[in-house]
Structures are given as C-alpha cells and as structure tokens.
A and B are shown apart, each in its own frame.
Chain A
Amino acid sequence: MTIDLSPEKVYPLVSALLFAGVAGVTLLGALVAAASRRLVYSVSGLALSFVGLAGLYLYLQSPFLALMQILIYIGAVCIVIMFAIMLADVVEEKSARSRALPAAIAAFLVAAMLAFALIALIGRTAWMPKAVRVNAGAVQDIGRALLTRFGFAFELISVVLLLAILGALVVARTGRGNNRE
C-alpha cells in the first residue's frame, strides 16, 4: 500500500487538522476560564483561549492580527486582570460555591439565548467568498481603514479609554467615599 502524499491530498488534511487544533485550543481555554474554581486558572484559561484565537487569525491569513492579539490580549489584558486579582486578594475556592438553582437556570437560559442568536446569525449571514489573494499589505490596509472608514469609531474608542483613565485616576486619588474618615 502506498500513501498518496501529493500536495492536493495532503494540504486539505493538514489544513483541517490545523483548524481543529486551533479551534480546540480556543474552546479548551474558554472552558477552563469558565469552569475552573480558581481565578488564576480562569485567567490562564483565558490566555490559552487568546492564543487559540491568534491561531485562528493566523489560519485566516492575518498574521498581523494574530500577533496583535497576543501582544495586546496576553501582554496587556491578561496581565492586568492577573494584577487586579493579586491586588484584590480574593479569598479563593471557598467563595466560589455552587450557585443556587434559580440563578443557574437563569444563567443557562441567558447563555442558551445568546448561543441561539449567534448560531442564527451565522446561519443567515451571507458570507463573503474565500479571499483569493493572500493580503500582503495587511498592516497598511488596517491602518488606512482605521483612519479613514472607521475613523469615527476609532476616535470614539480613544475618548472612552481616556474617560476610563480619568475615572480610574479620580477613584485612585479620592477613594469611593466610604471607609474614609
């Protein structure tokens, strides 16, 4: 028996395996983030999920987005969340007791509705055809799009971030008002 290793046979298989791998990592990370009792594990799971997401971007031929995903979401977001956990000194495990039944049912319903809506959306969207050309100028394209077509959203987000920083400063400087003499 000979194994056919021509590129036409191998590439789709490798591609499918790769996709299964990165999607699996994303889901696994998300599961760990949602299911674990310890916050440190949750953040680690989140980080794993972000790595998987970066893999998905890479799979979709957007290496720039993939690297940005790692740089920003792991390098900044996860680290800051971890920092917050450390500062907040959460009493772990014990506080995360299983929820009451009504709350669990409500949570399940909300999650189910969200999942249904997303799946319905995926089903109804008219997907664009597969990109024919590998986009070499992704950085330039993203930059141009951010500063022209999405300029307004871009500026709004910076205003939101600025407000968040100012708010954090105010809270840090004066406190929330309670437990002060």
Chain B
Amino acid sequence: MTEGMLMNLVRLLLYLVGMIGFAAFNAAYLTLLERKQASWMQLRRGPTEVGPWGLLQPVADGVKLMSKQLLLPRDVDVPLFLLGPIMVVVPPILCLVTIPFSETVVARNYNLGLLMIFAFGAVSTFALMLAGLASANKFSSIAAARIVAQNIAYEIPLLVIVLSLVMTTHTFNLHTIVAQQAGGFWHWNLLKLGANPLMPVAFLIYFICLLAESNRAPFDMVEAESELVAGVFTEYSGMGFGLFFIAEYVNIVVGCCLATILFLGGWHCPFGLLPGLHWFLIKMYALCVMVVWVRWSFPRTQFYGLLNLSWKYLIPLALANLLLTAVMLKLF
C-alpha cells in the first residue's frame, strides 16, 4: 500500500470519528441550549444542578439514557423496531461528511454534495415512518401517517428553492457555492438580488421548510406530546429514544449548515476580514438559536394549517421564485 493511500485512509478515519463526535456533541449541547433558552424565555432557570450552570446536564442525561433498559413491547415488529432508530440517525451524520466547514475543513469535497444531503434526508424520513409502523401503537401509526404528508408537502418547496439556487450557482458542489460568495455580506446569495430579487423570500421559505423537515415546533406533528403522547417515539425507551433525539438535533445542525452555505456565505466574514471556521460556526449556531427561538415562541399549528401553508403558499411562491430566476438568468 502506498504512502498516499495510507494517509488518505487515516484522514478519512479521523474525519469519520470527528463527524460522529461533532454530531454527538451538538445533539447533547443543543438539548441544553434548548432547555436553557426555553427557561430564559419563560423566566425560569432551567437545569442548574449538574455542573456549573447545568453544563454537565447533557452528560447526566446521556448516562441515564444508556443505563436504561431497551424495552421491546409485545406486539412490535422486532427487526424493523430495532432498525428504525439506527436508520434515522445514520443519514444525517453521513450528510455532515460533505459539508465544508471552512476552506480546508471538509471531509469529502463532493461534486454532488447538495444532492447527497437531500437524498439521505429522504432515507431518514422513510426510517422514521418505519419505526412508527413497527411500533404497533395507534399514536405511532398516526404520527407515521403525518410524517408522510408533512415531509412530502415540505420537500417540494424546499427542493424547488434549492433548484432555483442551483440555477444561479451552476453547481451542486457546496465548497464551490461558498467560494462564489467570497467578500462582504453583499456578495452572499441571500443578497444576490441581481440573480433573483426574491432571494430573501427564498431564504425565508427555506427556513420554514427546514423547520418542517426536521419536525420542529411549530411543525412537530411527529412528536406532538400533547396529542400523540410522543408520536413515533412512544414505544421506545433508553437509547432507542435517545437516538431519535440525536437525529433530530443533527438534522437541525445539517439544515442550519446548509442554510449557512447556501445563503449566508459559509465561512466568509460579513466584512471580508479573517474568513474561517469560526464564522461558519457563528452563523450556524445563530441559526440554531433561531430554530429554538421559534419553537418556544409559536404554538403547534393544526395539521391542516400545516398542509395548507405548504400547498397553498409555499409551493406557489417557490415556483414563482424558480420562474423568476429562470427569467432573470435569460435576460441578464
């Protein structure tokens, strides 16, 4: 085996471990962020007992989840029931592989990275539904039915928006998309009004779809604690339950990374100074805070309201955006 191959292999392994670590870290500390932020917004104090300011709370939660027994209820479909959480959590972690965190920090600079993320996202949805069906529980089945309607409804505007963006960038390569946005914030795709005057609207649609696709409140029809117990997760215990939450938070991270890359200039500084990893993380976590903020500000929508929003407003808007982009491309 040649030196280069070995180096490549080591690099790949390191990235793999790094990605899993990054995913786990984010899942753990975004739960803390979620709880802390919720408590700030509700004038409570949130977790304070474990560690200073409750900073070790996620560790305690993790230990608790791992030490719990994995229950297999009597009627569940055992193979699918066990496969469900694993298949839900793997695709979003794989998605991280192609995300360029900075000029140099990217595990696999893949030409079709953007497409890959959406393809794997689809697998995750399928797995979530499988888990719901295998649970042999009414609440889980209702949640599984909702997932389909919701994810199909929101995948359309999401893909159409991304399509119009790809038309202006001419590439699926995330690294190149960021590289095109070098310079100040006026070069970001968000403000590339010359390519498409509706770009900020596109970003808004993307953000709404991100909330819906990662099943976050106000669109958390999959879990919906107050009506469906815990939806798809009802029958799961211990780490089986934990994996769903890891998947949810990693999905948010992937979605926010993608928003940063597609609209907010990735690792570039808003003022053209010192581009790098830190800017990517600042933007990405700012978006994560936004996601949590939205969750604790808005009540859950009704299911029909959710579908109406997508089919009657977002899809026509997204299509108009696509058309406008095409016209602008042809004219200028």
Contact between B126 and A5, CB atoms less than 8 A apart: no
Contact between B77 and A75, CB atoms less than 8 A apart: no
Task: Tell me if B's interface is mostly helix, strand, loop or mixed.
Answer: helix
B122 interfacial contact with A, CB 8 Å = yes
- List of A residues within 8 angstroms of B115 by Cβ: 64, 67-68, 71
Contact between A40 and B112, CB atoms less than 8 A apart: no
- List of B residues within 8 angstroms of A136 by Cβ: 111
A80 interfacial contact with B, CB 8 Å = yes
Tell me which residues from 146 to 197 in chain B have a Cβ below 8 Å from any Cβ of chain A: 148-149, 151-152, 155, 172
Given contacts A40-B77, A40-B134, contact A67 B112 (CB under 8 A): yes
In Å, the complex CA distance between A64 and B172 comes to 10
Contact between B112 and A86, CB atoms less than 8 A apart: no
Give the number of A-B contacts (CB < 8 Å): 70
- List of B residues within 8 angstroms of A1 by Cβ: none
Contact between B133 and A40, CB atoms less than 8 A apart: yes
Tell me which residues from 113 to 141 in chain B have a Cβ below 8 Å from any Cβ of chain A: 115-116, 118-123, 125-126, 129-130, 133-134, 141
Nearest CB of A to B26, in Å: 24
Contact between A75 and B123, CB atoms less than 8 A apart: yes
Interface size on A, residues (CB 8 A): 25
Q: Interface code A49-73, partner B: CB below 8 Å = 1, 0 otherwise?
A: 0000000000000011001101100
A33 interfacial contact with B, CB 8 Å = no
A74 interfacial contact with B, CB 8 Å = yes
Contact between B145 and A44, CB atoms less than 8 A apart: no
Contact between A70 and B148, CB atoms less than 8 A apart: no
- List of B residues within 8 angstroms of A169 by Cβ: none
Please tell me which one of the listed residues A63, A75, A139 contacts residue B126 in the complex, with CB atoms under 8 A apart: A75
Question: Which chain A residue lies CB-closest to B133?
Answer: A40
Contact between A83 and B123, CB atoms less than 8 A apart: no
Residue numbers of A with Cβ under 8 A of B are 5, 7, 38, 40-41, 44, 47, 63-64, 67-68, 70-71, 74-76, 78-80, 82-83, 86-87, 136, 139
